[in-house]
A and B are shown apart, each in its own frame.
Chain A
Amino acid sequence: MTRYAMVVDLDRCQGCRGCMTACKVENNTVEGNFWMYVFRFEQGSFPDTEMSFMPRPCQHCHNAPCVKVCPVGARFHREDHIVLTDADRCIGCRYCELACPYGVNYFNWQPPDEGQYSIVDWKDPDLEPVTNGLIPPYKNPDLDELWGDEQRRTAGGGHAKGIMEKCTFCVQRVEKGLDPACVDTCPTDALVFGDVENPDTPISHYLKENRTWQLLEEAGTKPGVYYVGGTRPSSELKEIERPKATV
């Protein structure tokens, strides 16, 4: 049996938000949707302030509240403990988002084509000869594949308007034996991903050697993401430097 999990070492995280960018590039998520999000916190009052960072992917809970409330089984829990959304099944009721205490679900409020980041207007007729009408310029073809034993369309974002999407642990990469994009990109190796049932994986060593904590353990969700060190989020912390997150 495989059980995928992630370790976030907050003592290593420097808050560069590279993981957020890598996630967006890999998963084609629309503007304002942050499957991976890095909190930048400030504590205390000037001049005695302290900054801390906390990456927040989907927690891939073992006892996932979002799976329980989904009325049509679009949100499901894989054997290897990855929690996924079936883009072809979701009806867009957004109940999963309400059930989730971590706020990791993002709805496609507008047609994905219109919600994509763009420095230039890709529909500009002058650009037409260059872009050949490709909007957005690139989309990973893996995202439209069917993955896993279930053969459901679960990878990536920007599939359709009016459906829910969230972090997939980059299922399209994990299926190929790769790490999720955020883990791959992290310059300080603050993110570790792997199978915790297998004692020889780096993540198993990491969990054995470090004291870990989990987000909102009291909610009973049994998250699949473990945190090491750092500052636990509390009401003492003020969030600063929010990226443009509204659409």
Chain B
Amino acid sequence: MRRIGTIVLISGGIVLLLFGYLMSAPWGSLRVADSDPVFVGAPIFFILGIISMLSSAVFYELLPD
């Protein structure tokens, strides 16, 4: 249970992080539409991803077996 939760937090964090990154970074294009994130607030997902990944350590250590 603890192990699964940790894996979910880490992999979920990576998914969130990548999603947040890609949604806030339309690379290479100079079009106006691409100077902004795909949707407003996309960077928040990046932050949540980092926090989720790092919280896994606390989760793993604190939760009982």
Point out residues on A near B: beta carbons under 8 Å.
62, 67, 73, 76-79, 149-150
Size of the chain B interface, CB-CB below 8 angstroms: 6
B-side contacts of A77, CB under 8 Å: 30, 32, 35
In angstroms, Cα B31 to Cα A79, docked, is 6
Nearest B residue to A80, CB-CB? B32
B-side contacts of A79, CB under 8 Å: 31-32
In angstroms, Cα B31 to Cα A62, docked, is 11
In angstroms, Cα B36 to Cα A105, docked, is 21
Question: Main SS of the interface on chain B?
Answer: loop
Known A62-B30, A76-B36; 4 more pairs at CB < 8 Å: A73-B36, A77-B30, A79-B31, A149-B32
A-side contacts of B31, CB under 8 Å: 79
Give min CB distance, A183 to chain B, whole Å: 24
In angstroms, Cα B30 to Cα A79, docked, is 8
In angstroms, Cα B29 to Cα A76, docked, is 12
A150 touches B32 (CB 8 A): yes
Give min CB distance, A39 to chain B, whole Å: 29
B-side contacts of A67, CB under 8 Å: 35
A-side contacts of B35, CB under 8 Å: 67, 73, 76-77
Q: Which residue among B31, B35, B36 has the maximum number of chain A CB atoms within 10 Å of its CB?
A: B35
Nearest A residue to B37, CB-CB? A73
In angstroms, Cα B36 to Cα A79, docked, is 14
Nearest A residue to B31, CB-CB? A79
B-side contacts of A73, CB under 8 Å: 35-37
Chain B 39-62 per-residue mask, 1 if CB under 8 angstroms from chain A, else 0: 000000000000000000000000
Nearest A residue to B35, CB-CB? A76
In angstroms, Cα B31 to Cα A149, docked, is 12
Nearest A residue to B36, CB-CB? A73
A-side contacts of B36, CB under 8 Å: 73, 76
Give min CB distance, A91 to chain B, whole Å: 13
| A-B interface, 8 closest residue pairs, ranked by CB to CB distance from nearest | A76-B35, A73-B35, A73-B36, A77-B30, A79-B32, A78-B32, A150-B32, A76-B32
A-side contacts of B30, CB under 8 Å: 62, 77
Chain B 11-45 per-residue mask, 1 if CB under 8 angstroms from chain A, else 0: 00000000000000000001110011100000000
